[in-house]
Structure 1
């Protein structure tokens, strides 16, 4: 049995703005074509009458060739009362390993995102220091930034 992780989907109020945010902050690259999906098959799949989805897939950084993607979509009709919290049931956050957590957090803020909680450093076994922070994209989706440093001994 073959199993392969394919993508994570974000439903955005404005898929183009959210897609540009991830491109600018994390270097994600659009994978053509842009999607414009509708029809009976989509209504059956989603259980939503007259569903219409627009958006695109983004190649995630750090992969060569065949990689998982971040799928940014908008529906013609959306439920917007979905509070995003770090301890909410369901998918909680996307995580990116970065060289400089503070610098990427600053880019997130410059592009209209925000910070959730404090930037922290903590010691792990074997002389490893981890740096973490939770941030939010421009529509409030939670992003974890992490960096791992092995102490030179």
Structure 2
């Protein structure tokens, strides 16, 4: 049996519209509207009771990479460590290849994007940085050096 594709990555956020705006400013596109999700089926899938969430999808312009942004109304979302550092175990970052790292940083700052470290160059190949984004996740940016 083979995997057909990786469908999406789920990101839990506290402010759904702000998270959508952040990723749209990054260059992703909305994929539909906000969808409320609740019912016994979702309780069974996620292993929680009385789940009520709003979900929005954003996708890369080519349509292949998608994020499911989820805001929990019940039960309230929790976090073990707000703004966890990059070396915390688990899913730590989403990496995006962009045309201009400096431009993307400037556009994301008004949407809450904060540099984790600084922009650095890896050999003559990439300029890279980590930004803290919605829900404290790390969004890594990579720019190919010409």
Fold equivalence (TM over 0.5): yes
Structure 1: which 5+ residue stretches go unaligned?
Answer: none
Are 2:79 and 1:80 equivalent residues in the alignment?
yes
Q: Offset at 1:101? A: 1.0
Indicate the structure with greater strand content.
1
Query: Aligned to 1:117, what secondary structure does the other structure show?
Result: coil
Structure 1 Cα separation of the partners of residues 89 and 135 of structure 2 = 18
Residue 68 of structure 1: which of 37, 45, 65 is its match?
65
Rg larger in structure: 1
Query: Counterparts of 1:1-153 in structure 2 under 5 Å?
Result: 1-3=1-3, 4-24=5-25, 26-61=26-61, 63-64=62-63, 67-76=64-73, 77-83=76-82, 84-123=84-123, 128-150=124-146
RMSD: 1.6
Number of equivalent positions: 142
Normalising by structure 1, we get a TM-score of 0.84
1:128-153 alpha-carbon deviations (Å, 9 max, x no partner): 43111111114321011111224xxx
Runs of 4+ in 1 over 2 A off after TM superposition: 80-84
Query: Aligned to 1:105, what secondary structure does the other structure show?
Result: helix
Q: Offset at 1:80? A: 3.3
Query: Aligned to 1:32, what secondary structure does the other structure show?
Result: coil
Normalising by structure 2, we get a TM-score of 0.88
RCO higher in structure (CA 8 A, sep ≥6): 2
